[in-house]
Chain A
Protein backbone atom coordinates (compact mmCIF):
# COMPACT_ATOMS: atom_id res chain seq x y z
CA UNK A 1 0.00 0.00 0.00
CA UNK A 2 1.09 3.55 -0.65
CA UNK A 3 2.88 5.51 2.03
CA UNK A 4 1.02 8.58 3.18
CA UNK A 5 3.07 9.85 6.13
CA UNK A 6 6.82 9.52 6.54
CA UNK A 7 9.12 10.33 9.42
CA UNK A 8 12.56 10.80 7.93
CA UNK A 9 15.32 10.65 10.60
CA UNK A 10 13.31 12.77 13.00
CA UNK A 11 15.11 14.02 16.10
CA UNK A 12 13.73 16.43 18.67
CA UNK A 13 15.67 18.04 21.44
CA UNK A 14 14.04 20.46 23.86
CA UNK A 15 16.20 23.19 25.35
CA UNK A 16 16.80 22.49 29.02
CA UNK A 17 18.36 24.19 32.01
CA UNK A 18 22.11 25.05 31.94
CA UNK A 19 22.43 24.28 28.25
CA UNK A 20 21.57 20.62 28.78
CA UNK A 21 18.86 19.80 26.30
CA UNK A 22 16.32 17.05 26.72
CA UNK A 23 16.49 14.60 23.86
CA UNK A 24 12.90 13.40 23.45
CA UNK A 25 13.07 11.60 20.12
CA UNK A 26 16.16 10.37 18.31
CA UNK A 27 16.46 9.47 14.66
CA UNK A 28 13.00 8.04 14.11
CA UNK A 29 12.26 6.66 10.65
CA UNK A 30 8.77 5.49 9.99
CA UNK A 31 6.43 4.96 7.05
CA UNK A 32 2.71 5.04 7.64
CA UNK A 33 0.75 3.29 4.91
CA UNK A 34 -2.53 4.61 3.59
CA UNK A 35 -5.56 3.28 5.47
CA UNK A 36 -3.53 1.48 8.08
CA UNK A 37 -4.02 1.68 11.82
CA UNK A 38 -0.62 2.22 13.39
CA UNK A 39 -0.03 2.15 17.12
CA UNK A 40 2.96 3.82 18.72
CA UNK A 41 3.54 1.84 21.89
CA UNK A 42 5.87 3.04 24.59
CA UNK A 43 6.26 3.79 28.28
CA UNK A 44 5.42 7.24 29.53
CA UNK A 45 8.11 9.77 28.78
CA UNK A 46 9.39 7.96 25.70
CA UNK A 47 8.63 10.85 23.41
CA UNK A 48 5.56 9.43 21.71
CA UNK A 49 3.49 12.56 22.22
CA UNK A 50 6.40 14.63 20.91
CA UNK A 51 6.44 12.51 17.79
CA UNK A 52 2.70 12.93 17.31
CA UNK A 53 2.97 16.70 17.83
CA UNK A 54 5.61 16.77 15.12
CA UNK A 55 3.26 14.88 12.79
CA UNK A 56 0.56 17.48 13.47
CA UNK A 57 3.02 20.32 12.87
CA UNK A 58 2.55 21.70 16.40
CA UNK A 59 6.30 21.48 16.89
CA UNK A 60 9.16 21.26 14.42
CA UNK A 61 11.83 18.56 14.60
CA UNK A 62 15.37 19.62 15.52
CA UNK A 63 16.65 17.41 12.72
CA UNK A 64 15.04 15.34 9.99
CA UNK A 65 11.63 15.98 8.49
CA UNK A 66 8.10 14.68 8.22
CA UNK A 67 6.49 14.21 4.83
CA UNK A 68 2.77 14.11 4.21
CA UNK A 69 2.00 12.71 0.79
CA UNK A 70 5.59 13.44 -0.16
CA UNK A 71 5.61 17.09 0.96
CA UNK A 72 7.30 18.29 4.16
CA UNK A 73 5.11 19.52 7.03
CA UNK A 74 6.24 22.99 8.05
CA UNK A 75 3.36 24.37 10.15
CA UNK A 76 0.17 23.24 11.85
CA UNK A 77 -1.27 20.77 9.40
CA UNK A 78 -5.07 20.47 9.22
CA UNK A 79 -4.70 17.39 7.01
CA UNK A 80 -3.34 15.61 10.10
CA UNK A 81 -6.32 15.81 12.47
CA UNK A 82 -5.50 15.42 16.15
CA UNK A 83 -7.65 13.78 18.79
CA UNK A 84 -6.43 15.13 22.13
CA UNK A 85 -6.34 13.13 25.32
CA UNK A 86 -7.95 16.07 27.11
CA UNK A 87 -10.70 16.27 24.44
CA UNK A 88 -10.05 19.98 23.75
CA UNK A 89 -13.71 20.60 22.96
CA UNK A 90 -14.92 24.20 22.80
CA UNK A 91 -17.02 24.56 25.97
CA UNK A 92 -19.10 27.40 24.47
CA UNK A 93 -20.17 25.34 21.49
CA UNK A 94 -22.79 22.64 21.54
CA UNK A 95 -22.01 19.11 20.38
CA UNK A 96 -23.20 20.11 16.92
CA UNK A 97 -21.22 23.37 17.00
CA UNK A 98 -18.07 21.45 17.88
CA UNK A 99 -18.58 18.82 15.20
CA UNK A 100 -19.29 21.51 12.59
CA UNK A 101 -16.20 23.53 13.46
CA UNK A 102 -13.78 22.10 10.91
CA UNK A 103 -16.41 22.36 8.16
CA UNK A 104 -17.12 25.97 9.12
CA UNK A 105 -13.41 26.74 8.84
CA UNK A 106 -13.42 25.23 5.36
CA UNK A 107 -16.30 27.51 4.39
CA UNK A 108 -18.90 24.79 3.99
CA UNK A 109 -22.38 26.42 3.90
CA UNK A 110 -24.51 25.98 7.06
CA UNK A 111 -27.12 23.57 5.69
CA UNK A 112 -24.52 21.20 4.29
CA UNK A 113 -22.44 21.57 7.43
CA UNK A 114 -25.32 20.49 9.55
CA UNK A 115 -26.06 17.51 7.37
CA UNK A 116 -22.47 16.26 7.48
CA UNK A 117 -22.18 16.90 11.22
CA UNK A 118 -25.36 14.94 11.89
CA UNK A 119 -23.98 11.99 9.99
CA UNK A 120 -20.91 11.87 12.22
CA UNK A 121 -22.91 12.51 15.37
CA UNK A 122 -24.90 9.42 14.39
CA UNK A 123 -21.71 7.50 13.74
CA UNK A 124 -20.47 8.09 17.29
CA UNK A 125 -23.97 7.40 18.66
CA UNK A 126 -24.68 10.82 20.08
CA UNK A 127 -27.99 11.50 18.38
CA UNK A 128 -30.22 13.35 20.81
CA UNK A 129 -27.26 15.18 22.36
CA UNK A 130 -26.66 17.62 19.48
CA UNK A 131 -27.66 20.69 21.49
CA UNK A 132 -25.87 19.79 24.71
CA UNK A 133 -22.71 21.53 25.82
CA UNK A 134 -19.57 19.42 26.38
CA UNK A 135 -19.53 19.92 30.15
CA UNK A 136 -22.97 18.33 30.31
CA UNK A 137 -21.53 15.08 28.93
CA UNK A 138 -19.51 12.25 30.48
CA UNK A 139 -15.85 11.74 29.58
CA UNK A 140 -16.65 8.93 27.15
CA UNK A 141 -19.27 11.03 25.40
CA UNK A 142 -16.91 14.00 25.18
CA UNK A 143 -14.31 11.83 23.53
CA UNK A 144 -16.95 10.68 21.03
CA UNK A 145 -17.62 14.31 20.19
CA UNK A 146 -13.90 14.88 19.61
CA UNK A 147 -13.85 11.89 17.33
CA UNK A 148 -16.88 13.10 15.39
CA UNK A 149 -15.40 16.59 15.17
CA UNK A 150 -12.18 15.34 13.62
CA UNK A 151 -13.90 12.83 11.30
CA UNK A 152 -16.26 15.54 10.03
CA UNK A 153 -13.25 17.73 9.20
CA UNK A 154 -12.10 14.78 7.07
CA UNK A 155 -8.29 14.95 7.47
CA UNK A 156 -5.99 12.66 5.51
CA UNK A 157 -4.51 11.20 8.70
CA UNK A 158 -6.01 10.78 12.15
CA UNK A 159 -3.60 11.35 15.03
CA UNK A 160 -4.76 10.08 18.40
CA UNK A 161 -2.85 10.90 21.57
CA UNK A 162 -3.86 8.34 24.20
CA UNK A 163 -7.44 9.39 23.61
CA UNK A 164 -8.95 6.90 26.04
CA UNK A 165 -6.42 7.24 28.85
CA UNK A 166 -8.67 9.41 31.00
CA UNK A 167 -11.62 7.01 30.75
CA UNK A 168 -12.50 4.25 33.16
CA UNK A 169 -11.69 0.70 32.08
CA UNK A 170 -15.19 -0.21 30.96
CA UNK A 171 -15.86 2.96 29.00
CA UNK A 172 -12.46 2.55 27.48
CA UNK A 173 -13.32 -0.89 26.20
CA UNK A 174 -16.53 0.38 24.66
CA UNK A 175 -14.66 3.23 22.97
CA UNK A 176 -12.05 0.84 21.58
CA UNK A 177 -14.84 -1.21 20.10
CA UNK A 178 -16.39 1.93 18.59
CA UNK A 179 -13.07 2.96 17.13
CA UNK A 180 -12.59 -0.48 15.58
CA UNK A 181 -16.00 -0.19 13.96
CA UNK A 182 -15.40 3.38 12.75
CA UNK A 183 -11.97 2.54 11.37
CA UNK A 184 -13.25 -0.51 9.56
CA UNK A 185 -15.97 1.68 8.02
CA UNK A 186 -13.82 4.65 7.08
CA UNK A 187 -10.39 3.06 6.63
CA UNK A 188 -8.92 6.41 7.64
CA UNK A 189 -5.16 6.28 8.17
CA UNK A 190 -4.65 6.43 11.93
CA UNK A 191 -1.61 6.93 14.14
CA UNK A 192 -2.60 6.03 17.66
CA UNK A 193 -0.45 6.51 20.74
CA UNK A 194 -0.79 4.27 23.75
CA UNK A 195 1.17 2.81 26.62
CA UNK A 196 -1.34 0.01 26.91
CA UNK A 197 -0.32 -3.21 25.16
CA UNK A 198 -3.85 -4.57 25.01
CA UNK A 199 -5.10 -1.40 23.38
CA UNK A 200 -2.39 -1.66 20.74
CA UNK A 201 -3.12 -5.35 20.13
CA UNK A 202 -6.84 -4.80 19.76
CA UNK A 203 -6.66 -1.77 17.49
CA UNK A 204 -3.51 -1.85 15.40
CA UNK A 205 -2.50 -3.26 12.04
CA UNK A 206 1.09 -2.57 12.98
CA UNK A 207 2.63 -1.82 16.35
CA UNK A 208 5.69 0.39 16.62
CA UNK A 209 7.46 -0.27 19.92
CA UNK A 210 9.38 2.81 21.02
CA UNK A 211 12.42 2.66 23.27
CA UNK A 212 12.75 4.53 26.55
CA UNK A 213 13.88 8.16 26.36
CA UNK A 214 15.11 9.21 23.93
CA UNK A 215 12.40 7.60 21.83
CA UNK A 216 13.63 5.42 19.00
CA UNK A 217 11.95 2.76 16.96
CA UNK A 218 12.82 -0.45 18.76
CA UNK A 219 10.67 -2.85 16.78
CA UNK A 220 7.81 -2.87 14.34
CA UNK A 221 5.42 -5.77 14.81
CA UNK A 222 2.78 -6.81 12.30
CA UNK A 223 -0.51 -7.56 14.00
CA UNK A 224 -2.02 -10.58 12.31
CA UNK A 225 -5.05 -10.87 14.54
CA UNK A 226 -8.03 -11.25 12.19
CA UNK A 227 -10.35 -8.39 11.21
CA UNK A 228 -13.12 -7.44 11.70
CA UNK A 229 -12.01 -7.48 15.29
CA UNK A 230 -13.91 -7.42 18.51
CA UNK A 231 -12.54 -6.68 21.98
CA UNK A 232 -13.38 -10.27 22.91
CA UNK A 233 -10.38 -11.30 20.84
CA UNK A 234 -8.45 -10.83 24.08
CA UNK A 235 -9.83 -14.19 25.23
CA UNK A 236 -8.23 -16.23 22.43
CA UNK A 237 -4.95 -18.21 22.76
CA UNK A 238 -3.70 -16.59 19.55
CA UNK A 239 -4.00 -13.22 21.29
CA UNK A 240 -2.10 -14.37 24.37
CA UNK A 241 0.75 -15.72 22.32
CA UNK A 242 1.00 -12.48 20.38
CA UNK A 243 0.84 -10.41 23.53
CA UNK A 244 3.73 -12.38 25.02
CA UNK A 245 5.79 -11.58 21.93
CA UNK A 246 5.10 -7.84 22.08
CA UNK A 247 5.64 -7.81 25.81
CA UNK A 248 9.20 -9.07 25.32
CA UNK A 249 10.06 -5.96 23.37
CA UNK A 250 8.33 -3.64 25.79
CA UNK A 251 9.62 -5.13 29.03
CA UNK A 252 13.25 -4.31 28.40
CA UNK A 253 12.38 -0.71 27.71
CA UNK A 254 10.18 -0.39 30.76
CA UNK A 255 13.08 -1.71 32.88
CA UNK A 256 15.42 0.86 31.37
CA UNK A 257 12.92 3.59 31.93
CA UNK A 258 12.45 2.69 35.58
CA UNK A 259 16.19 2.62 36.13
CA UNK A 260 16.71 5.94 34.36
CA UNK A 261 14.17 7.58 36.64
CA UNK A 262 15.73 6.24 39.81
CA UNK A 263 17.70 8.99 41.54
CA UNK A 264 21.41 8.29 41.35
CA UNK A 265 23.01 7.69 44.74
CA UNK A 266 26.58 8.39 43.70
Chain B
Protein backbone atom coordinates (compact mmCIF):
# COMPACT_ATOMS: atom_id res chain seq x y z
CA UNK B 1 0.00 0.00 0.00
CA UNK B 2 2.78 2.40 0.98
CA UNK B 3 4.67 1.57 -2.19
CA UNK B 4 1.64 2.38 -4.28
CA UNK B 5 1.27 5.73 -2.57
CA UNK B 6 4.92 6.53 -2.98
CA UNK B 7 4.76 5.53 -6.60
CA UNK B 8 1.79 7.74 -7.32
CA UNK B 9 3.53 10.66 -5.62
CA UNK B 10 6.61 9.98 -7.65
CA UNK B 11 4.62 10.06 -10.87
CA UNK B 12 2.52 13.06 -9.92
CA UNK B 13 4.39 15.17 -12.46
CA UNK B 14 3.06 12.92 -15.20
CA UNK B 15 -0.15 14.20 -16.77
CA UNK B 16 -3.32 13.60 -14.83
CA UNK B 17 -4.96 11.47 -17.52
CA UNK B 18 -2.23 8.90 -17.73
CA UNK B 19 -2.48 8.40 -13.99
CA UNK B 20 -6.22 8.32 -13.65
CA UNK B 21 -6.94 5.76 -16.31
CA UNK B 22 -4.93 2.84 -14.94
CA UNK B 23 -6.01 3.71 -11.41
CA UNK B 24 -9.68 3.50 -12.19
CA UNK B 25 -9.11 0.24 -13.97
CA UNK B 26 -7.17 -1.20 -11.07
CA UNK B 27 -10.05 -0.59 -8.68
CA UNK B 28 -12.88 -1.22 -11.10
CA UNK B 29 -12.98 -5.01 -10.89
CA UNK B 30 -12.69 -5.47 -7.12
CA UNK B 31 -15.37 -2.85 -6.42
CA UNK B 32 -17.75 -4.60 -8.79
CA UNK B 33 -16.93 -7.91 -7.17
CA UNK B 34 -17.52 -6.54 -3.68
CA UNK B 35 -20.88 -5.16 -4.82
CA UNK B 36 -21.84 -8.52 -6.25
CA UNK B 37 -20.95 -10.34 -3.03
CA UNK B 38 -22.75 -7.74 -0.91
CA UNK B 39 -25.84 -7.97 -3.09
CA UNK B 40 -25.99 -11.76 -2.66
CA UNK B 41 -25.38 -11.51 1.10
CA UNK B 42 -28.07 -8.88 1.47
CA UNK B 43 -30.51 -11.08 -0.39
CA UNK B 44 -29.67 -14.08 1.82
CA UNK B 45 -30.03 -11.89 4.94
CA UNK B 46 -33.42 -10.66 3.82
CA UNK B 47 -34.51 -14.21 3.06
CA UNK B 48 -33.29 -15.42 6.47
CA UNK B 49 -35.04 -12.56 8.22
CA UNK B 50 -38.26 -13.23 6.35
CA UNK B 51 -38.33 -16.86 7.49
CA UNK B 52 -36.79 -16.24 10.92
CA UNK B 53 -39.24 -13.53 12.00
CA UNK B 54 -42.20 -15.33 10.50
CA UNK B 55 -42.94 -12.74 7.77
CA UNK B 56 -43.49 -15.68 5.45
CA UNK B 57 -44.81 -19.09 6.42
CA UNK B 58 -42.25 -21.93 6.01
CA UNK B 59 -44.91 -23.76 4.00
CA UNK B 60 -44.38 -21.24 1.25
CA UNK B 61 -40.71 -20.46 1.70
CA UNK B 62 -38.17 -22.56 3.60
CA UNK B 63 -35.25 -20.85 5.32
CA UNK B 64 -31.83 -20.66 3.61
CA UNK B 65 -30.43 -22.78 6.42
CA UNK B 66 -32.89 -25.61 5.76
CA UNK B 67 -32.11 -25.47 2.04
CA UNK B 68 -28.38 -25.59 2.80
CA UNK B 69 -28.76 -28.56 5.15
CA UNK B 70 -30.92 -30.36 2.55
CA UNK B 71 -28.22 -29.71 -0.06
CA UNK B 72 -25.57 -31.03 2.32
CA UNK B 73 -27.57 -34.23 2.89
CA UNK B 74 -28.10 -34.73 -0.81
CA UNK B 75 -24.44 -34.19 -1.60
CA UNK B 76 -23.24 -36.62 1.06
CA UNK B 77 -25.50 -39.38 -0.27
CA UNK B 78 -24.32 -38.65 -3.79
CA UNK B 79 -27.91 -38.20 -5.02
CA UNK B 80 -27.29 -34.63 -6.13
CA UNK B 81 -24.32 -35.60 -8.28
CA UNK B 82 -26.28 -38.47 -9.80
CA UNK B 83 -29.08 -36.07 -10.77
CA UNK B 84 -26.68 -33.50 -12.20
CA UNK B 85 -24.91 -36.21 -14.15
CA UNK B 86 -28.14 -37.73 -15.51
CA UNK B 87 -29.42 -34.35 -16.75
CA UNK B 88 -26.02 -33.31 -18.11
CA UNK B 89 -25.73 -36.49 -20.13
CA UNK B 90 -29.12 -35.93 -21.73
CA UNK B 91 -28.31 -32.31 -22.53
CA UNK B 92 -24.94 -33.22 -23.93
CA UNK B 93 -26.30 -35.96 -26.19
CA UNK B 94 -29.27 -33.98 -27.48
CA UNK B 95 -27.24 -30.82 -27.91
CA UNK B 96 -24.35 -32.55 -29.68
CA UNK B 97 -26.77 -34.28 -32.03
CA UNK B 98 -28.55 -30.98 -32.74
CA UNK B 99 -25.21 -29.28 -33.44
CA UNK B 100 -24.04 -32.11 -35.67
CA UNK B 101 -27.18 -31.76 -37.79
CA UNK B 102 -27.85 -28.03 -37.64
CA UNK B 103 -24.37 -26.51 -38.08
CA UNK B 104 -23.58 -28.22 -41.41
CA UNK B 105 -27.16 -27.72 -42.62
CA UNK B 106 -27.07 -24.04 -41.67
CA UNK B 107 -23.80 -23.49 -43.54
CA UNK B 108 -25.13 -25.20 -46.66
CA UNK B 109 -28.31 -23.11 -46.45
CA UNK B 110 -26.20 -19.98 -46.05
CA UNK B 111 -24.15 -20.53 -49.20
CA UNK B 112 -26.64 -22.36 -51.43
CA UNK B 113 -30.08 -20.82 -51.73
CA UNK B 114 -32.00 -23.93 -52.93
CA UNK B 115 -31.15 -25.66 -49.65
CA UNK B 116 -32.56 -22.70 -47.78
CA UNK B 117 -35.72 -22.74 -49.87
CA UNK B 118 -36.22 -26.46 -49.19
CA UNK B 119 -35.74 -26.27 -45.43
CA UNK B 120 -37.34 -22.86 -44.78
CA UNK B 121 -40.99 -24.02 -44.62
CA UNK B 122 -40.17 -26.61 -41.96
CA UNK B 123 -38.35 -24.05 -39.89
CA UNK B 124 -41.33 -21.72 -40.09
CA UNK B 125 -43.69 -24.46 -38.93
CA UNK B 126 -41.48 -26.00 -36.25
CA UNK B 127 -40.01 -22.88 -34.72
CA UNK B 128 -43.16 -21.68 -32.89
CA UNK B 129 -43.53 -25.06 -31.17
CA UNK B 130 -42.13 -25.14 -27.62
CA UNK B 131 -40.09 -28.29 -27.05
CA UNK B 132 -42.61 -29.58 -24.48
CA UNK B 133 -45.23 -29.93 -27.20
CA UNK B 134 -43.11 -32.79 -28.51
CA UNK B 135 -43.43 -34.70 -25.24
CA UNK B 136 -46.63 -36.65 -26.08
CA UNK B 137 -45.40 -37.74 -29.51
CA UNK B 138 -41.91 -38.51 -28.30
CA UNK B 139 -43.26 -40.71 -25.48
CA UNK B 140 -45.47 -42.55 -27.96
CA UNK B 141 -42.58 -43.10 -30.34
CA UNK B 142 -39.66 -43.57 -27.99
CA UNK B 143 -41.11 -44.49 -24.59
CA UNK B 144 -39.89 -42.71 -21.51
CA UNK B 145 -36.25 -43.76 -21.67
CA UNK B 146 -33.09 -41.84 -22.42
CA UNK B 147 -33.71 -41.52 -26.14
CA UNK B 148 -36.97 -39.66 -25.46
CA UNK B 149 -35.19 -37.05 -23.28
CA UNK B 150 -32.46 -36.71 -25.87
CA UNK B 151 -35.10 -36.22 -28.55
CA UNK B 152 -36.77 -33.44 -26.57
CA UNK B 153 -33.44 -31.64 -26.16
CA UNK B 154 -32.74 -32.15 -29.85
CA UNK B 155 -36.12 -30.81 -30.96
CA UNK B 156 -35.80 -27.80 -28.70
CA UNK B 157 -32.28 -26.94 -29.83
CA UNK B 158 -31.60 -27.68 -33.45
CA UNK B 159 -33.63 -24.88 -34.99
CA UNK B 160 -31.87 -22.22 -32.93
CA UNK B 161 -28.46 -23.60 -33.81
CA UNK B 162 -29.54 -23.69 -37.45
CA UNK B 163 -30.76 -20.10 -37.45
CA UNK B 164 -27.63 -18.78 -35.77
CA UNK B 165 -25.42 -20.72 -38.18
CA UNK B 166 -27.39 -19.58 -41.21
CA UNK B 167 -27.27 -15.96 -40.11
CA UNK B 168 -23.53 -16.06 -39.29
CA UNK B 169 -22.75 -17.69 -42.63
CA UNK B 170 -24.68 -15.08 -44.55
CA UNK B 171 -23.09 -12.26 -42.59
CA UNK B 172 -19.53 -13.07 -43.63
CA UNK B 173 -18.28 -9.83 -45.16
CA UNK B 174 -18.61 -10.12 -48.97
CA UNK B 175 -15.55 -7.89 -49.34
CA UNK B 176 -13.47 -10.66 -47.74
CA UNK B 177 -14.83 -13.21 -50.21
CA UNK B 178 -14.04 -10.81 -53.02
CA UNK B 179 -10.54 -10.22 -51.67
CA UNK B 180 -9.94 -13.98 -51.40
CA UNK B 181 -11.06 -14.55 -54.97
CA UNK B 182 -8.85 -11.69 -56.09
CA UNK B 183 -5.96 -13.52 -54.41
CA UNK B 184 -6.77 -16.63 -56.44
CA UNK B 185 -8.96 -18.64 -54.05
CA UNK B 186 -11.16 -21.42 -55.46
CA UNK B 187 -14.73 -22.07 -54.22
CA UNK B 188 -13.47 -24.75 -51.86
CA UNK B 189 -10.74 -22.46 -50.52
CA UNK B 190 -13.31 -19.69 -50.00
CA UNK B 191 -15.39 -22.09 -47.91
CA UNK B 192 -12.44 -23.33 -45.84
CA UNK B 193 -10.44 -20.12 -45.51
CA UNK B 194 -13.13 -17.44 -45.42
CA UNK B 195 -16.69 -18.60 -44.79
CA UNK B 196 -16.02 -21.15 -42.04
CA UNK B 197 -13.68 -19.00 -39.93
CA UNK B 198 -15.80 -15.93 -40.67
CA UNK B 199 -18.96 -17.60 -39.43
CA UNK B 200 -17.34 -19.38 -36.48
CA UNK B 201 -17.73 -16.62 -33.86
CA UNK B 202 -21.45 -16.32 -34.62
CA UNK B 203 -21.93 -20.08 -34.64
CA UNK B 204 -20.25 -20.43 -31.27
CA UNK B 205 -22.31 -17.59 -29.84
CA UNK B 206 -25.42 -19.38 -31.08
CA UNK B 207 -24.31 -22.65 -29.52
CA UNK B 208 -23.77 -20.92 -26.20
CA UNK B 209 -27.24 -19.37 -26.20
CA UNK B 210 -28.80 -22.63 -27.33
CA UNK B 211 -27.11 -24.62 -24.60
CA UNK B 212 -29.15 -22.75 -21.99
CA UNK B 213 -32.28 -23.56 -24.02
CA UNK B 214 -31.24 -27.24 -24.12
CA UNK B 215 -31.13 -27.18 -20.33
CA UNK B 216 -34.63 -25.84 -20.03
CA UNK B 217 -35.77 -28.58 -22.45
CA UNK B 218 -34.26 -31.38 -20.41
CA UNK B 219 -35.73 -30.07 -17.17
CA UNK B 220 -39.24 -29.91 -18.59
CA UNK B 221 -38.87 -33.38 -20.10
CA UNK B 222 -37.70 -34.75 -16.76
CA UNK B 223 -40.57 -33.12 -14.92
CA UNK B 224 -43.10 -34.86 -17.13
CA UNK B 225 -41.65 -38.34 -17.23
CA UNK B 226 -38.34 -39.39 -15.72
CA UNK B 227 -36.94 -41.44 -12.87
CA UNK B 228 -33.85 -39.31 -12.31
CA UNK B 229 -32.25 -35.98 -13.22
CA UNK B 230 -32.65 -32.52 -11.74
CA UNK B 231 -36.10 -31.97 -13.23
CA UNK B 232 -37.37 -35.25 -11.76
CA UNK B 233 -35.76 -34.36 -8.43
CA UNK B 234 -37.74 -31.13 -8.24
CA UNK B 235 -40.96 -32.82 -9.29
CA UNK B 236 -40.65 -35.64 -6.74
CA UNK B 237 -39.71 -33.17 -4.02
CA UNK B 238 -42.90 -31.25 -4.74
CA UNK B 239 -44.94 -34.47 -4.44
CA UNK B 240 -43.28 -35.25 -1.13
CA UNK B 241 -43.94 -31.72 0.10
CA UNK B 242 -40.19 -31.23 0.57
CA UNK B 243 -39.86 -27.55 -0.32
CA UNK B 244 -36.18 -27.22 0.64
CA UNK B 245 -35.43 -30.04 -1.81
CA UNK B 246 -37.30 -28.20 -4.58
CA UNK B 247 -35.06 -25.18 -3.99
CA UNK B 248 -31.93 -27.35 -3.90
CA UNK B 249 -32.91 -28.71 -7.29
CA UNK B 250 -33.46 -25.22 -8.68
CA UNK B 251 -30.15 -23.91 -7.38
CA UNK B 252 -28.54 -27.09 -8.70
CA UNK B 253 -29.82 -26.34 -12.20
CA UNK B 254 -28.56 -22.75 -12.05
CA UNK B 255 -25.11 -23.75 -10.88
CA UNK B 256 -24.77 -26.59 -13.39
CA UNK B 257 -25.70 -24.30 -16.28
CA UNK B 258 -23.23 -21.70 -14.97
CA UNK B 259 -20.45 -24.29 -14.98
CA UNK B 260 -21.43 -25.42 -18.48
CA UNK B 261 -21.37 -21.76 -19.60
CA UNK B 262 -17.90 -21.25 -18.17
CA UNK B 263 -16.74 -24.35 -20.02
CA UNK B 264 -18.27 -23.08 -23.26
CA UNK B 265 -16.58 -19.72 -22.71
CA UNK B 266 -13.25 -21.48 -22.35
CA UNK B 267 -13.77 -23.51 -25.54
CA UNK B 268 -14.67 -20.32 -27.37
CA UNK B 269 -11.48 -18.68 -26.11
CA UNK B 270 -9.45 -21.60 -27.43
CA UNK B 271 -11.14 -21.64 -30.82
CA UNK B 272 -11.07 -17.89 -31.51
CA UNK B 273 -7.50 -16.74 -30.87
CA UNK B 274 -8.05 -13.63 -32.99
CA UNK B 275 -10.76 -12.35 -30.67
CA UNK B 276 -8.84 -12.86 -27.44
CA UNK B 277 -7.40 -9.39 -27.04
CA UNK B 278 -10.85 -7.88 -27.53
CA UNK B 279 -12.37 -10.05 -24.84
CA UNK B 280 -9.48 -9.33 -22.51
Contacts and interface: CB of A to CB of B under 8 A. Distances in A.
Interface in B172-215: 173, 175-176, 178-186, 189, 193-194, 197-198, 200
B278 interface: yes
B240 interface: no
Contact of A105 (B173, B189, B277): B189
Contacts of B278: 135
B122 interface: no
B60 interface: no
Interface in B153-185: 173, 175-176, 178-185
A76 B181 contact: yes
B184 A102 contact: yes
Given A78-B183, A101-B193, A149-B183, A86 B175 contact: yes
Contact of B194 (A81, A90, A153): A90
A114 to B, nearest CB: 17
A41 interface: no
Contact of B176 (A56, A90, A106, A153): A90
B180 A91 contact: no
Contacts of B200: 92
B275 to A, nearest CB: 8
A90 B193 contact: yes
Contacts of B273: 133
A84 interface: yes
A147 interface: no
Contacts of A77: 182
Given A88-B175, A90-B194, A92-B197, A153 B183 contact: yes
Given A56-B182, A102-B183, A135 B274 contact: yes
Given A101-B193, A106-B184, A88 B179 contact: yes
A252 B178 CA distance: 35
Given A90-B197, A102-B184, A106-B184, A84 B179 contact: yes
Contacts of B175: 84, 86, 88
Interface residues of A, number: 26
A84 B198 CA distance: 18
A52 B200 CA distance: 32
Interface residues of B, number: 23
A102 B176 CA distance: 13
A136 interface: yes
A191 to B, nearest CB: 14
A56 B184 CA distance: 12
A136 B183 contact: no
Interface string A147-176: 001100100000000000000000000000
Contacts of A80: 182
Nearest to B200: A92
Contacts of A149: 183
Contacts of A102: 183-184
Contacts of A58: 178, 182
Interface string B265-280: 0000000111001100
B182 A78 contact: yes
Most buried by A among B180, B197, B273, B274: B274
Contacts of A56: 182
Interface in A87-105: 88, 90-94, 101-102, 105
Interface string A117-153: 0000000000000000101100000000000011001
B191 to A, nearest CB: 13
Nearest to A107: B184
A91 B274 CA distance: 7
Given A92-B198, A105-B180, A135-B274, 20 more contacts: A56-B182, A58-B182, A77-B182, A82-B179, A86-B175, A88-B173, A88-B175, A88-B178, A90-B179, A91-B274, A92-B200, A92-B272, A94-B274, A101-B183, A102-B184, A105-B183, A105-B184, A105-B189, A150-B183, A153-B183
Interface of A: 56, 58, 76-78, 80-82, 84, 86, 88, 90-94, 101-102, 105-106, 133, 135-136, 149-150, 153
29 contacts: A58-B178, A78-B184, A80-B182, A81-B183, A82-B179, A84-B175, A86-B175, A88-B175, A88-B176, A88-B178, A90-B176, A90-B180, A90-B193, A90-B194, A92-B197, A92-B200, A92-B272, A92-B274, A93-B274, A101-B180, A102-B183, A105-B184, A133-B273, A133-B274, A135-B277, A135-B278, A149-B183, A150-B183, A153-B184
